[in-house]
Amino acid sequence: MTQDELKQAVARAAIDYVVDGAIIGVGTGSTANFFIDELGKIKHRIKGAVASSEATAARLKTHGIAVFDLNDVDSMPVYIDGADEITDQGAMIKGGGAALTREKIVASVAKQFVCIADGSKLVNMLGKFPLPVEVIPMAHMAVARQLSALGGEPRLRMKEGKPLMTDNGCVIIDVNGLQIADPEEMEARINNIVGVVTVGLFALRGADIALLGTAEGVKRMEFR
């Protein structure tokens, strides 16, 4: 199976976690896009969705799915999103699609986080994938120096020759060379650096369930 076929398989499997009549949280990225396309087939069953990015909101709307502002939603039964890496403890690196802050916010409101990914994203230790850190623009050099002190190799993410700007008007520093043995400690430590909006470690609030696409089918892992 191709990587896209694996992503489609987990997207279809994630439909089982959609709660009828509810508003659900929807993530950002290629795997989340496959899920949105599947969600469009059952849109009559849900009230709508909260999007973790402008791109996700636009894709939901093309399927005729109502998009709600998170400020108007008290709680959600489930948040469904992909991951760049995930461990067998449910800790993740996210942010390859530059939506880490909004993803973390929407996930914090949901009762359950279902991670959907192809099986290659399952790792023993986080850090091979560059760790994204969203940063206030004026602070990116100061933050980069502190990330270097942690043993990483920070690099400002660029797009078309300019710093990539997030939906929040911030920039992203990608940190290479980290071996993250204690994701919760690292998440708290980086989040405490002045100028950081949030780090793309989802460990303090990790996944509850992972659906991983493999050649043998969809593998389900439960963490909490």
So which residues are the catalytic ones? 103
Phi, psi of 71 (to 5 degrees): -65, -20
How many Cα atoms within 13 Å fall on the side-chain side of residue 70?
18
CA end-to-end span of the chain = 30
Tokens of 129: 């994938």
Angle at 35 between CA 32 and CA 39, to 5 degrees: 135
Tokens of 46: 């849900």
Tokens of 153: 């190799």
Tokens of 70: 């998170």
CA distances from 120 to 7, 127, 160, 195 (A): 11, 14, 29, 33
Distance CA 177, CA 220 (A): 30
Please report where in the chains the tokens 């636009």 appear, as a residue: 58
